[in-house]
Amino acid sequence: MLRIFGLRAVVKRSIFLYTAGMRKSPLLFTVLRLPTDILMLFAAGIAAYFLRVSPLVSGWRPVLFYLNLPFEKYIFLLALVIPFGILIFAFTGLYKVKRGSLPEEFFQITASVSFAMMAVIIYIFIQREWFDSRFILVAAWGLSVLFVFFGRIFLRLIERYFVSRHQLGIQRVLLVGGDRVSQMLSEEIQKRPRLGFKLVKQIDVLDMGQVKLAVANPKIDTVIVGQADYSRDEIVELAEFCQEHHLNFHFAPTLFQTLATNIEMNVVGGVPLIEVRHTPLYGWGKILKRALDVFGSIAGIIGLAPLFCATAAFIKLESKGPVFVGLDRVTMNRHFKLYKFRSMIDNAHLLKKEMIQLNERNDGPLFKMKNDPRVTRVGRFLRRTRIDELPQLFNVLRGDMSLVGPRPHEPEEVAKYEKHHKKLLTIKSGMTGMAQVSGSSDLSFEEEVKLDTYYIENWSPALDIKILLKTLVILFKDRSAC
């Protein structure tokens, strides 16, 4: 059991858990910090200029820079300096999803603005020039700190309002534990709705039957284990269950050694509360990946438009039926229609049950035939060149899929997943992925699972770019697809 001095005060602060990689509310307001900071920096620069030329200051120190620094030129200089300041903010951690207290954020803003201003002054010195008004530099520094800080406070107030009044991003919590710490967590969650948690149910002992019942009805988003004396096997089983059902999972610190991959720890007063993440793909990484998906899919759709038109014409000339087909697929336990160019005869899926005995893969739930009689002549070419998969760019643009991720599988295939296979449903499926660039159809299903699991647990922007580049090489060289 935890030995804690000032237990109630510590728990009150420790309850402020950060789960922004999974909740929409903190992630949304993290993104909003960027335009707010830009607006505040611009406003601070404008205010500094007009303060300098105001009668209050100009009467004390006459304005002598009207010719050298007109307002239009000053605006242009602001437009150059502000992006540099935003980069400094990013490097100093002001856009992390996890936020500190207001005093901590104020000192961080002060340090970041000071560093940016110092860099500007050093640049001016190296250029052997001097800014036309030192007062504006000093005023812009002070006003930038204040404006950015108050902009951040305003965002916090808006977020708190929507969380407490409209339950935006609220997590529905199942609390496991009947000890004193668990009870205090329960009280804090219920007393402070602005924290973004709603206690739906508390169970005194870790019983998987009760957990499964609570998760099924009513719906639970987050499981918190407040009691620290459960066995290792019980915690591992609960963690795997949470991963399988896409639940946030927090546990007591004495269990840290059990699950030490992709964790987020917030230490307050010496008492940590740890969140287990199923993947490093959260926060700004999640935003960056989505931005890459949007820009990549738009560029692909525009650039490949002539190929799309030509392919559609050949499909229609050879056989009856639609140009595109929408196939049932599953991603993150959600069904969606995956778009492809039709490469088979119309309504080919209706014949699949009759051909199931001809499946050439017996190592997993997938169906595969190299010489599938349902495939048309044009379809064989589209499959060999993988042109048939290009309409998935529309899925990526819609947000159904990502450019890179595990292969999307059919509902009946997912229904046959074993427990460890369900890790593949942790993130969005992709047009290409680790398995596709590492052997594709030559791999066994278990090998695919291992590769995609590695990708999920070790995601990074660099890994995505590497997989995309390998995919381009395969598109031009490999013709093994069937």
- In the chain, where are the structural domains located? 7-20+169-276, 24-165, 284-477
Question: In whole numbers, what is the pLDDT of the chain averaged over residues?
Answer: 78
Exposure letters 99-121 (e unless 16+ CB within 10 A, then b): beeeeebbebbbebbeebbeebe
Tens digits of residue pLDDT in 163-212:
767 666 678 888 888 877 788 778 877 777 666 678 888 888 888 888 88
365, burial (CB in 10 Å: exposed 0-12, middle 13-18, buried 19+): middle
Provide the pLDDT for residue 7.
42
- Which residue from 238, 169, 232 is spatially nearest to 203, judged by alpha carbons? 238
Q: Please check the confidence at residue 18 and state whether its pLDDT lies above 50.
A: no
| Calpha distance 149→444 (Å, rounded) | 55
- Better-scored residue on pLDDT, 243 or 326: 326
**What was the pLDDT predicted at 41?**
94
List, as one string, the DSSP characters of 359-378: -S--SSS----TT-TTB-HH
Give the C-alpha separation, 341 to 390, whole Å.
8
Neighbours of 476 (CB within 10 A): 8
Residues in CB range of 316: below 8 A, 6 or more apart: 323
Residue 454 confidence (pLDDT) above 70: yes
Residue 150's pLDDT is 95
| Lowest mean per-residue pLDDT among 62-71, 88-97, 197-206, 429-438 | 62-71
| pLDDT reported for residue 4 | 39
Q: Using one digit for the tens of pLDDT, what is the confidence trace for 258-311?
A: 444 556 655 533 445 566 666 777 777 888 899 889 999 999 999 999 999 999
| Exposure b/e, 453-469, CB count within 10 A at least 16 = b | bebbbebeeeebeebbe
Residue 383 pLDDT > 60: yes
DSSP one-letter string for 150-219? HHHHHHHHHHHHHHHHH-TTPEEEEEE--SHHHHHHHHHHHH-GGGSEEEEEEESS--HHHHHHHHHTTT
Q: What is the pLDDT of residue 370?
A: 65
Top CATH class of 7-20+169-276 equals alpha beta
Which of 32-36, 96-100, 129-133 is most confident? Answer: 32-36
Report the pLDDT averaged over residues 1-12.
Answer: 41
Give me the phi and psi of 333, to 5 degrees please.
65, 20
Checking if the pLDDT of 9 tops 50, the result is no
Question: Between 69 and 327, whose confidence is greater?
Answer: 327
pTM of the entire predicted model: 0.57
pLDDT greater than 80 at residue 25: no
Rounded to an integer, what distance in angstroms lies between the CA atom of residue 425 and that of residue 334? Answer: 9
Q: In this predicted structure, which of 15-24, 103-112, 303-312, 428-437 has the lowest mean pLDDT? A: 15-24
pLDDT at position 397, please? 93
Beta pairing class for 171-176 and 222-225: parallel
Whole-number pLDDT of residue 341: 93
Bridge partners (DSSP) of residue 249 are 223, 276
Supply the pLDDT for residue 298: 92
What distances in angstroms separate CA 474 from CA 338, 384, 407, 436, one per listed residue? Answer: 22, 11, 16, 9
User: Which structure tokens are listed for 100?
Assistant: 């500190």
